[in-house]
Amino acid sequence: MTGPSGTGKTMLARAIHHRSSRRKEAFVEVSCGALPETLLESELFGHVKGSFTGAVANKKGKFLAADGGTIFLDEVGNASPALQVKLLRCWKTGSLSRWEAIRRLRLTRGLY
Ligand SMILES: Nc1ncnc2c1ncn2[C@@H]1O[C@H](COP(=O)(O)OP(=O)(O)OP(=O)(O)O)[C@@H](O)[C@H]1O
Ligand SMILES: [Mg+2]
């Protein structure tokens, strides 16, 4: 979806979610344009405690939070090509590799 701010992109994404079979599951919006790359990566994929300065606890990440539901990546075109590759891999395979994670996590229920 494209359009200037306030034209209803988020509203439309929510409407699609609420009319889908996943309406009872989570709808998670991530603003990809607003965060620096490293923060965005940990926001999306989560991180384990101690993997970088400031990582004071395990963080679940938005992909896992949206498992079974819908994740809406706002301004995804502003994410770097490297991060977009990771997004695509996560979306296609359902596998998440957390920063310095020992175990790999999988999305079990899939995503829109
Ligand atoms: N077609 C519409 N009918 C009624 N309300 C609308 C419509 N489109 C947008 N709105 C309202 O306008 C506000 C902004 O819409 P929304 O947040 O979906 O825009 P957006 O395109 O996602 O903007 P941004 O690029 O800033 O994220 C919301 O409060 C939404 O409810
Ligand atoms: Mg929006």
pLDDT tens string 71-96: 899 988 888 898 888 888 877 776 66
Closest CA relative to residue 108, chosen from 68, 65, 61: 68
Whether pLDDT at 10 is above 70: yes
Ligand 1: residue of 10, 30, 31 to mutate (most ligand atoms within 8 A of CB) is 10
Residue nearest to atom 11 of ligand 1 (CA): 8
Model confidence, pTM: 0.79
Residue identifier of the C-alpha nearest atom 26 of ligand 1? 5
> Nearest 5°: phi and psi at 75?
55, 45
Residue 98 pLDDT > 90, yes or no? no
Q: Per residue in 13-62, pLDDT tens?
A: 999 999 999 999 999 999 998 888 888 988 988 887 887 788 888 888 88
Q: Name the residues around ion ligand 2, CB cutoff 5 A.
A: 9-10
Contact 107, 62 (CB under 8 A): no
